[in-house]
Structures are given as structure tokens and as C-alpha cells.
Amino acid sequence: MSVKSIVETRRSVRQYDSSYKISWEVLTSLIESATKSPNGNNIQATRYLIIDDPSLKELLLPIAYNQQQVVDASHLIVMLGDYQAFERENIIEINEEAYQAGYLDESLKNILVNNAINYYENQSREELKLELTRDVSLASMSLVLLANEAGFETITMSGYDSKKLKEALNISERYLDVMLIAIGKGTEEGHSTVRHKVEKVMFKNKMD
Ligand SMILES: Cc1cc2nc3c(=O)[nH]c(=O)nc-3n(C[C@H](O)[C@H](O)[C@H](O)COP(=O)(O)O)c2cc1C
């Protein structure tokens, strides 16, 4: 299926076959592809916490306001951003790896390292949160499209109590939870949804 047809036919699916389990190998392969998504300065801050333990899913059900897909979908993925990715050690390590692989020469490596360190070092926690939100959201969309291409259904979710979810899963303040993604075999199609006409959302050179 083309990207265009996946984008145009994908729906958020809320009913899942609770007996269907995606294999760990398939899930790993989807996530490995999603890691190729664009991300700021290639600091690779996105983390994927996979939940498949039935007791954890039950624990999360009320935290996600009893949205049944939390327990019925094969896996629930907590899409996280890692604030530690902004640290200079990570920036140096990633660019060193690219240098060792022959993708950068030494001078470009040094430029990229310095640019990234300078870019992040004076940002507030709120600004870094936006950086993480951008990166994790792009990876999330990739994962949704990849999952659909592989014949699965998904739903992205922000309908949960962030504080309670982090407590329940022992997620420290090092991480920003951006969204949940439920993935599995749908049993009912997602309902059709409307979109604005393109003329309403598309602007040329200036906003009205
Ligand atoms: C960031 C985000 C959070 C969402 N959270 C929820 C949610 O908690 N529960 C839910 O039923 N749908 C949720 N949705 C799904 C949207 O309702 C859905 O994408 C929208 O209605 C358009 O429908 P479609 O995805 O089927 O095209 C969320 C979507 C996004 C992008």
C-alpha cells in the first residue's frame, strides 16, 4: 500500500481482539523502522515502553479513563521523550558513532556537536519539552503508519492521567510521556471522520 493510501484509509480503532498477540520480533521490527524518523539534531530522544503484562494493563485501565483498548489491544506503547538525550555526552557519542561509521568527517562532526550543545544548553525545561514533543510525535506517526502497513490497527491516546500513569509504571521525571499508542488486531473499523477542506487549512506566504 502506498503511503498516500495508508494515510487516507487509516482510522483510529478502539475495539481489539484481546486474544491476538503481535510477536515481539514483529513489534521490534516496527519500532526499529520508527527510530529512523527525523529528530532534532539526531539526539534520538524517543523511548518506547511496551506494555503487554495483563496485570499492568488492568492497572492502567482506570488511569486511561477506562478506554477498553488499553487492555484489549495486543500492546500498549508509552511514547516517551528522554530529557537526558540533551546532555553533551549523548550528543558527542552519537556524532562520534557517525564519524566512526564514515558518515561525517572530523570537522563536520565537531561542528554538529558544538551546534547541538549550544542549541540545547540554554533552553528551559518548557522549551525542551517542546523539543521532545516534536520528536516523539514524529516517531509516533511513523509507528502508526508502519503498523497499518503491516496489517495492524492503532490508536494514539492522550486520554489518561499523566501523573498516575508515571507513578503506576515507575517512570521518573527524566522522561516526558507524550502519548500512548494501542496496537493490535481491530475487531471493528474505526468510525469515519471528517476533515476541513484543504482551503481552510492551507495558506500562502501569510496567515489570514
Ligand atoms: C494526540 C492524540 C490523542 C488522542 N487521544 C485519544 C484518546 O485518548 N481516546 C480516543 O478515543 N481517541 C484519541 N485520539 C484519536 C482521535 O480522536 C482521532 O485521531 C480523531 O478523531 C480523528 O480520527 P481518525 O484517527 O480515525 O482519523 C487521539 C489522537 C491524537 C492524535
Q: Mean pLDDT of successive 10-residue segments in the chain (208 residues)? A: 95 98 98 98 98 98 98 98 98 98 97 97 97 98 98 98 98 98 97 96 96
Task: Tell me whether residue 137 is in a domain.
Answer: yes
Number of domains in the chain: 1
Task: Tell me whether residue 13 is in a domain.
Answer: yes
13 in ligand 1 pocket by Cβ < 6 Å?
no
Residue closest by Cα to atom 8 of ligand 1: 159
Task: Tell me whether residue 115 is in a domain.
Answer: no
Ligand 1 pocket test: pick from 7, 8, 11, 12 the residue with the most ligand atoms within 8 Å of its Cβ.
Answer: 12
- Strand 153-157 to 75-82 pairing: unpaired
CATH code (residue 145) = 3.40.109.10
For residue 208, what pLDDT is reported? 87
Task: Tell me whether residue 95 is in a domain.
Answer: no
Name the nearest CA neighbour of 30 among 140, 183, 146, 156: 146
Task: Tell me whether residue 208 is in a domain.
Answer: no
Gap from CA of 12 to ligand 1 centroid (Å) = 6
28-62 b/e (C-beta count within 10 Å ≥ 16 → b): eebbeebeebebbbebbbbbbeebeeeeebebbbe
Domain span at residue 159? 3-83+131-201
For residue 26, what pLDDT is reported? 98
For residue 1, what pLDDT is reported? 85
193 in ligand 1 pocket by Cβ < 6 Å?
yes
Task: Tell me whether residue 89 is in a domain.
Answer: no
Task: Tell me whether residue 119 is in a domain.
Answer: no
- Judge if pTM exceeds 0.85: yes
* DSSP bridge partners of 80: 47, 177
